[in-house]
Chain A
Amino acid sequence: MSSVTLNNIVKRFGNFTAVHRSSLEIPEGAFVTLLGPSGCGKTTNLRMIAGLLDPTEGEILIGGKRVNDVPIHKRNLGLVFQNYALFPHKTVADNVAFGLKYRNVPASEIPKRVSDALELVQLPHVAHRYPKELSGGQQQRIALARAIVIEPDVLLLDEPLSALDANLREDMRVELKRIQERIGVTTVFVTHDQSEALAMSDQIVVMSAGRVEQVGAPEEVYNTPASEFVANFLGASNIFDSQCTAIGGGSVTVDAPIFGQVAIPADKAPRIEGQGPAKLVVRAEKLHLSQDAAPEGGVSVPATVETVDYQGQAVRYFVRAGDTQLQAINMIDGHPFNEGDQVNLHLRPQDCAALPG
């Protein structure tokens, strides 16, 4: 188990810069997610840590040691791919034992280590089958077993759940986290799925266009996005061009369209440094549709329901207030509203966040 450090890393492919100069510190034993849309550089970062790509500039440290010139087969990393990458001509047991053969593990000990690993991923009975005889979820568990049986310093997971069905994905998410906590290995997880990132990570690194947008704990990244990109990528947000009119007394007052003056707690607007242009961020699920009057201390704005997107336990509404369309996601309590209903939009200032304009 080791920490991972990226120091001023740059990766260029010809004229294209996949990763702009960035540094990253992944503490020992942490579960860190690189989150972002495709092409944001998250996989490039992972492949550089793995040793499958060489950084153009900067250095990579694993456990405090510079590994730029250490070839992949000497880095002692566990690597799990989106498409499992199991060896199709080898049985499950041989797949899992593969890495042990290149480490000085006594041959007599290998079967025990293999069966322990299979036990850990809850597939003790498939040792003699071939990968193609297993389901996708089972194959991914075997891939995980193969990666952790070598007791890697760092576990690198490249979108390991993306090829699975929605239900299976959620089960595997819990399973993966359980195993990671059990063995306590430093884990770098790459995904474009925000709910995976929020559910599993100790730290989330949000990336966009080769740059790190924000690093923080899931709650921090979710509630206090550092940029418009983060606000939009994690969940759905309404973002308004506004003016910061007052600052101090533990709050930041923003003059926003539709809502007027909103006094946001200062910790929700840490990047606002003074009066001037600002952006008000309102998460879709913090905007409540109601037919009651405004709650105490809250803001209320009349609006018309335009679109109702029924999602089972929740509804996503598109509502219009004046010239502006807003998005709201509400849990269903009784019956959802219908298109054309006149409603009040309720918003609590402490649920908002503000970014510098």
Chain B
Amino acid sequence: MSVEAREARQPWILLSPALTAVALLLFVPLLFIMIYSFWLRTATGADQVGFFLDNWQEALTDAFYRDILLNTLKIAAITTVVCAVMGYPAAYFIARSKGNKGILLLLLMLPFWISYIIRTMSWINILGVSGAFNSALMALGIVSEPIQMLYNETTVILGLVHFLLPFMVLNVFVSLDGIDTNLEDAANSLGATRWQAFMQVTLPLSLPGLAAGGLLCFVLGAGTYITPLVLGGPTDAMFANLVFEAIITQLNWPLGSALSLMLLVVLGALVLIYNRYLGMAQLMKGLG
């Protein structure tokens, strides 16, 4: 074998375990889901094998699904904006802190060591009827009855922000950390105030990180089902809860498959648009 041929083969040999795993654990199941979505669940509860468009027709035309999809995108969008507004200053602070960057980043990662579900449920102990917040208010005599703060859209967004904020901070941090601090000094020396220098130089140069963080927050937020399940009320279902409902509760795999593919297509389109304009490299930097 020639040297070139051996060198050309090497990456594939190194990648093969990962490619095998991705193929078997992601693409094959996805293919099953795709096939399932054209089957039909009959009145008896058995799945009828074949090529039926009924599930797709229901998923695409029923206003119920459309409204929940729009509501899901709205919640994800609000969460993303809140994360950006809260995360940017934190990321800026970490990127500009001199000696203890490592410790601050470690603190940022610390919540990942606790299960996402536990972190979400912790809000019940804080905001619940007998939670810390209500207990404090009652002890201080500010209210006589506990306030019902949980189980609405706001707490769903709160839980999502809690979950997604580190992703935003990390992505913005990576972007800011790569900006030469001399640029701000140069802008200042040319007559720009610190705020003007930030708006003219630092912010535009950190936009790729903000966009990458935004994409991650939006996609992860729009795909969540645990947060609305734990912190949302009966009317706060997000799209992934519909999939859960269809597949786990109603055992309607064909409809659930069609719904999950619908969400995948919507979020996939977003990722493609992002990739078209900003490229995946930035996202990888933030994840690494």
Contacts and interface: CB of A to CB of B under 8 A. Distances in A.
B185 interface: yes
B190 A146 contact: yes
A79 B187 contact: no
Interface string A63-78: 0000000011111111
B189 interface: yes
Interface residues of A, number: 27
Nearest to B190: A99
Nearest to A81: B182
A321 B191 CA distance: 60
Nearest to A75: B189
A50 interface: yes
B36 to A, nearest CB: 48
A79 B192 contact: no
Interface string B168-204: 0000000000001011011111111110100011001
B-side interface size class: 10 to 19
Given A83-B182, A85-B182, A50 B190 contact: no
B247 interface: no
B180 A73 contact: no
A102 B180 contact: no
A77 B192 contact: no
Contact of A102 (B191, B194, B204, B205): B191
Contacts of B185: 50, 52, 72, 79, 81, 85
A50 B201 CA distance: 19
B190 A102 contact: yes
A99 B183 CA distance: 13
A156 B188 CA distance: 14
Nearest to A74: B191
A102 B194 CA distance: 13
Contact of B183 (A51, A71, A74, A85): A85
A103 B189 contact: no
B188 A85 contact: no
A75 B193 CA distance: 12
B205 A73 contact: no
A109 to B, nearest CB: 16
B24 to A, nearest CB: 43
A81 B192 CA distance: 17
Given A50-B189, A72-B188, A102 B182 contact: no
Contacts of A146: 186, 190
B199 to A, nearest CB: 12
A327 B62 CA distance: 92
Leading 6 A-B pairs by shortest Cβ distance: A102-B191, A99-B190, A79-B189, A85-B182, A85-B186, A72-B188
Interface of B: 180, 182-183, 185-194, 196, 200-201, 204-205
30 contacts: A52-B188, A71-B188, A72-B185, A73-B188, A73-B191, A73-B193, A75-B189, A77-B189, A81-B186, A83-B180, A85-B180, A85-B183, A87-B183, A87-B186, A87-B187, A87-B200, A87-B201, A89-B201, A89-B204, A89-B205, A98-B187, A98-B192, A98-B200, A99-B191, A102-B190, A102-B192, A102-B196, A147-B189, A150-B191, A156-B189
